[in-house]
Structure 1
Amino acid sequence: MNRYFWITALIAFINSLSFTILIPIIYLYGKQFELSDLQTSLLFSIYSISQFFATPVIGKLSDRFGRKPLLIISLAGTAIANIIAGTAPTAAILFFGRFLDGITGGNVSVAQAIISDITTPENRAKGFGIYGAALGLGFVLGPATSLLAQQISLGAGFVVSGLVAFVALIMTIFLLPETLKNKAEKAHNIFDIGLGNLIKGLFMPKINILLITNFFIGTTFTIFTYAFQPYFLKVLGQNSQTLTLMFLWFGLVGVIMQTWGVSILTRKFNLAKILFLGLFIRSLSFILMPVWQNLIYFVAVCALFSLFNSLVQPMVNALISLNAEPQQQGTALGLNASYLSIANGVGPVIAAMLVNQSNPITYGYPLYLAGMLTFLVLFLAIATQQIYTPKN
């Protein structure tokens, strides 16, 4: 791995730090504006749905104009949007900030395309594993930073997130070179900006199955991530500080697995089998979480979950990258991020529709649903593995 890879990984870490500062506080911050559970779920969804439309455009443009300028635009959007959200006087301004962050939020897919540009096919899974570990480290320090920011206010967490994204922006401008060697052909008309790829992606050989699989992976995961917070707060009787510590625990365990675990497992098993293992443990964990309303039990199941869950996304990213042509890396990974975004928009709404605020026990229902649906995703992945498993 050359130094530009490590610069990219560092930028990914800082970007992840910016994002994960928000995860423990979005639900509670929405409650400060007297939003219902369903309305609060829309704070998650508006970001994800706007990102769904923006990400393939950013991925397409990064194939055409280069990775660096698109990463700069995306990080700038994140910095501005989070400062707007953190200082929002009304719920409408808060929703606008979330929308702006989503519509410019293609930095993940662009960073993944950079990883594809500067790694060989043989090192691609390892590269995405290290990249995932950088993101995971953000999941460790992000909640810790959030915990400190919460001592001021929940809105301060958004402002700090924006400032962290600004640091990543400065690093991109001054430290990261352009990594795209062969740019895609220029557009034939002003409407050729990648939105058509949202449909075309479903007809791309091998890539289409992975996109569909990852859509369902994302949907089940965000059903969990939204339901987890009110379940932890209202059913287990915890507070925002212990909630933040739980996210820190998830990140710490994820870093360990993505740093050492991926490297060890990829030497012994192919990518598809590692993906199956991660999905199986994820689905089992979701179903076990609400079985017993006990904090120690819940934390133990979450430890098992976070250890193997961290295998899933790096394997999907690597499989998509290995099955895409070199000139389509940004487009394919942009599509992946885009379908994952719409999944992130669907999941919280499904979870919110299943719960009843006056009956806290219902906050466990989305967890059961997420587990059952993840088992179905596992069966889909197993049934289609011969289609997308790279020959090399």
Structure 2
Amino acid sequence: MNRNFWITALIAFINSLSLTILIPIIYLYGKRFGLSDFQTSLLFSIYSVAQFFATPVIGKLSDRFGRKPLLIISLAGTVIANLIAGTATTAGLLFFARFLDGITGGNASVAQAIISDVTTSENRARGFGVYGAAFGLGFVLGPATSLLAQQISLGAAFLVAGAVAFVGLLVTLFFLPETLQNKADKAQNIFDLGLGNLISGLAMPKVGVLLIINFFIGTTFTIFTYAFQPYFINVLGQNSQTLTLMFLLFGVLGVIMQTWGVSILSNKFNIVSILFLGLFIRSLSFVLMPIWQNIIYFVIVAILFSLFNSLVQPMINTLISLNAQAKDQGTAMGLNASYLSISNGVGPVIAGTLIHQSQPITYGYPLYLAGILTFLVLFLAIANRKRYAPQLQ
């Protein structure tokens, strides 16, 4: 791994830190503005829907003009959006800030394209594993930072997240060189920004089927990530501090698995098999979580979930990268991030629709649904294995 790889991993960590400072508080911050459970799910969704349209544009432009300028624009958008959210006085301003962050939020897909630029096909799985670990490290320090910021106010967490993203912007400006060696041809039409790829990308050989699988993976996962928070607070009787500590636990275990775990498993199993293992344990965990309404039981299941869940996204990212042509890495990663973003918009709405505050039992329904649907996604991935399994396996 060369210097550019480690700089990118650092930027991924900073980006993750900025993001995960917010994850434990968005639900509760929305409640401060008088939003219902369903309305807070829309607060999650507007960010993701905006990203859905933005990331293929950012991905294609990064293939055309280079990774660095697009990463700078994306990080700058996050800084401004978090400043607005942290000082918002109305729910409307908060929704606008989340939309702005989403529409400029292609930094993860551009960073993934950089990883593809600077790694060989032989060590790409390890590269994405380290990248995932760097991102996961943010899930360790992000909740801890959030916990400190919450002592001031929930809005202060947004301001801290914006400051962290600003550091990432400075690192990109002064330390990250351009990694794209062969730029894509300039567009004949100035309106050719990659939105058409949202449809045509599904027909990309081997990549298209992975985009579909990852869309369903993301949808089922974000049903859980939204439903987990009201379930943890309203059913298990916890608060924002213990919720943040749970996210800290998820982050610590994720880093352990993505550093040592991925390396060990990669020596014994191929990428596709590791993906299947992660999906199976994820689906089983979702179903088990709401069976017994006890915090100790929940934490035990969450530990199992955290260890194996962290295998899924690095493996799917690796498969997409290995199946995409070198000149299309940015486009493929942008499409991947885009479909993952729209799935992040769909999942919370599904969860929010199933929850009824007057009926506490309904807080467990989205968790059962996420588990059942993840089993179906696993079957879909197994049935289509021959369409995307790389030749090196």
TM tier, smaller: over 0.9
Q: CA deviation at 1:268?
A: 1.1
Q: Distance in 2 between matches of 1:170 and 1:96?
A: 25
Residue 123 of structure 2: SS of its match in structure 1? helix
2-structure distance, mates of 1:221, 1:158 = 24
Q: Tell me the distance in 2 between the aligned counterparts of 1:211 and 1:336.
A: 6
Partner of 1:217: 217
Aligned residue runs from structure 1 range 162-201, under 5 A? 162-201=162-201
In the alignment, is residue 109 of structure 1 matched against residue 139 of structure 2?
Answer: no
Q: Following TM superposition, by how much is the alpha carbon of 1:318 offset from its aligned partner in structure 2, in angstroms?
A: 0.2
Q: Residue 345 of structure 2 corresponds to which residue in structure 1?
A: 345
Task: Please tell me whether residue 387 in structure 1 is matched to residue 393 in structure 2.
Answer: no
Distance 1:165 1:101 in 2: 11
Alignment match, 1:272? 272
State the alpha-carbon separation in 2 of the partners of residues 82 and 7 from structure 1.
24
Q: What is the 5 A alignment of 1:296-311?
A: 296-311=296-311
Aligned-residue Cα RMSD (Å) equals 0.4
For 1:227-306, what aligned pairs fall within 5 Å after superposition?
227-306=227-306
Tell me the equivalent position of 2:121.
121
Q: Aligned-pair distance for 1:183?
A: 0.2
Gap regions ≥5 residues in structure 1: none
The one-letter code of the counterpart of 1:341 is S
Aligned equivalents of 2:328 and 2:24: distance in 1? Answer: 35
Q: Secondary structure at the match of 1:213?
A: helix
Q: In 2, distance between residues paired with 1:260 and 1:115?
A: 19
1:227 and 1:43 map into 2 onto residues whose CA distance is: 14
Shift of 1:360: 1.6
**What SS is found at the alignment partner of 1:238?**
coil
Deviations 1:298-351 (A, max 9, x none): 000000000000000000000000000000000000000000000000000000
Distance 1:299 1:380 in 2: 29
What is the letter of the counterpart of residue 273 of structure 1?
Answer: S
Indicate whether 1:34 and 2:34 are aligned. Answer: yes
Q: How far apart, in 2, do the equivalents of 1:71 and 1:187 lie? A: 20
Deviations 1:269-298 (A, max 9, x none): 111000000000000000000000000000
Q: Could you tell me how far apart the structure 2 residues matched to 1:131 and 1:339 are?
A: 20
Letter in 2 for 1:327: K
Deviation at 1:211, TM superposition (A): 0.3
Worse overlay, 131-140 or 200-209? 200-209
Residue of structure 2 equivalent to 1:327 = 327
Q: Which residue of 1 aligns with 2:16?
A: 16
The answer as to 2:180 corresponding to 1:160 is no
**Cα distance, 1:361 vs structure 2:** 1.7
Return the letter of the residue paired with 1:338.
S
In 2, distance between residues paired with 1:358 and 1:100? Answer: 33
1:90 is matched with 90
Q: Secondary structure at the match of 2:317?
A: helix
Partner of 2:63: 63
- Alpha-carbon distance between aligned partners in 2 of 1:221 and 1:161, rounded to the nearest angstrom: 23
What is the CA deviation profile of residues 4-47 of structure 1, one whole-angstrom value per residue up to 9, with x for unaligned ones? 11110001000000000000000000000000111100110000
**Cα deviations by residue, 1:81-116 (Å, 9 ceiling, x for unpaired):** 011011001000000000000000000000000000
Residue 318 of structure 1 corresponds to: 318
Q: Which amino acid aligns with 2:368?
A: Y
Q: How far apart in 1 are the matches of 2:65 and 2:6?
A: 23
Task: Quote the offset at 1:267 in angstroms.
Answer: 1.2
Name the TM-score, length of structure 2 as normaliser.
Answer: 0.99
CA distance in 1: counterparts of 2:71 and 2:252, whole angstroms: 27
2:43 matched residue in structure 1: 43
**1:172: Cα distance to partner?**
0.2
Cα deviation 1:52-105 (Å, max 9, x = unaligned): 000000000000000000000000000110110110010000000000000000
**Aligned counterparts of 2:356 and 2:37: Cα–Cα separation in 1:** 9
Instruction: Give the letter aligned to residue 224 of structure 2.
Output: F
Query: What residue in structure 2 maps to residue 79 of structure 1?
Result: 79
The residue type paired with residue 206 of structure 1 is K
Q: Per-residue deviation at 1:175?
A: 0.3
Number of residue pairs the alignment of both structures matches: 392
Question: Where has structure 1 moved over 4 Å in runs of 4 or more?
Answer: none
The correspondence of residues 140-159 of structure 1 with structure 2, limited to 5 A, is 140-159=140-159
